Structure 1
Amino acid sequence: MKKVRMNVNGRVQGVGFRYMTKLVADKIGIRGTVKNEEDGSVTIEAIGESEKMTRFIQKIKDSPSPSGRVTQFTMTDDPTIKERKSFDVVY
């Protein structure tokens, strides 16, 4: 099981990015969270099998929201991410 923390910048707030990220995660079978940050970025904690994670990461880089645009993407493996049973939007 892979656990990663992603931070994305660009046009990622106010365009349905978190909601669409949840839809993509649910469809692929990824668990975790997505939340807006005060600096205008979005942070995603994702847990899933390696093959599913690869697909999810590519969807995030391409922006799951049709009106969003990712201009900067960082990702780190983070084994400390808390296990979850679903993927949730965090406020």
Structure 2
Amino acid sequence: MRQIHVIVSGRVQGVGFRFFAQQAAAEHRIVGFVKNQEDGSVVIKAQGEDNDTESFIDQIRKGPSTFAKVKNLEITEENVSDKFNKFEIKY
């Protein structure tokens, strides 16, 4: 099990990014959450198996549509300290 903290920057708010992240998480068996930040970025905390988290990150890097523009991902490995049951959108 792997836990990562991801800060996604670029044009990632107001373009369906959180919903996209939730769908990608379901496809890759990822649990955790996604949340908009006040600075215009999006934060993701994700848990899953190594290969699932890598596939999830690859999909997040591409973004949901032509309206979104992912410029940077800051990925930090974390100790698995939280226990998530699902992947949710936080407000």
Q: TM-score if structure 1 supplies the norm length? A: 0.95
Say whether residues 1:3 and 2:3 are aligned partners.
yes
Residue type of the alignment partner of 2:75: M
Cα distance change, pair 81–12 in 1 and its aligned pair in 2 (3 A)? farther
Partner of 2:30: 30
**Which consecutive residues of structure 1, in runs of 5 or more, have no partner in the other structure?**
none
Structure 1 residue 11: deviation in Å?
Answer: 0.7
Structure 1 residue 27: deviation in Å?
Answer: 1.3
Say whether residues 1:90 and 2:90 are aligned partners.
yes
Distance 2:68 2:42 in 1: 12
| Identity over aligned pairs, percent | 37
Is the CA contact 1:45–1:81 (under 8 Å) kept in the aligned structure 2? no
Distance 2:54 2:9 in 1: 19
Partner of 2:70: 70
CA displacement, residues 13-69 of structure 1 (integer Å, 9 cap, x when unaligned): 000000010011011110000000000000000000001011001011111x11211
